[in-house]
Amino acid sequence: EAGVAQSPRYKIIEKRQSVAFWCNPISGHATLYWYQQVLGQGPKLLIQFQNNGVVDDSQLPKDRFSAERLKGVDSTLKIQPAKLEDSAVYLCASSLTTRSSGELFFGEGSRLTVL
């Protein structure tokens, strides 16, 4: 079974530039999450989708971050314009539904460095 795919693995940009991350969840998984993980901390939820609808985006900085999940499969997370404090690993995860056994499957993450 293929896992959660993310790209790019690494990205370096200058502040005020824009960046986009892509995630392809496990086939059939209705729920998709984007987490931000700053060095030395645990992952923090940015946004949760159920199919192509947003369930929770309360911690998404909406002035600069946006995410979409068209057709309820792949998802894209965009940052525009980036700030220095956005340097982090962006993790995508998926699960069958929010009412599953609770097992989240994570991708390897996209590491962003903002200079």
Partner 1 sequence: DAKTTQPPSMDCAEGRAANLPCNHSTISGNEYVYWYRQIHSQGPQYIIHGLKNNETNEMASLIITEDRKSSTLILPHATLRDTAVYYCIVRPNYGQNFVFGPGTRLSVLP
Which residues form the interface with partner 1 (CB under 8 A)? 4, 33, 35, 40-45, 48, 56, 91, 93, 98-99, 101-109
If the CB atoms of residues 19 and 49 are measured against partner 1, the closer one turns out to be 49
Q: How many Å separate Cα 55 from the centre of its chain?
A: 14
In the complex, the smallest distance separating the C-beta of residue 16 from partner 1, rounded to whole angstroms, is 28
In the complex, the smallest distance separating the C-beta of residue 27 from partner 1, rounded to whole angstroms, is 18
In the complex, the smallest distance separating the C-beta of residue 35 from partner 1, rounded to whole angstroms, is 8
If the CB atoms of residues 5 and 20 are measured against partner 1, the closer one turns out to be 5
b/e sequence 42-74, b meaning 16+ C-beta within 10 Å? ebebbbbbeeeeeeebeebeeeebbbebeeebe
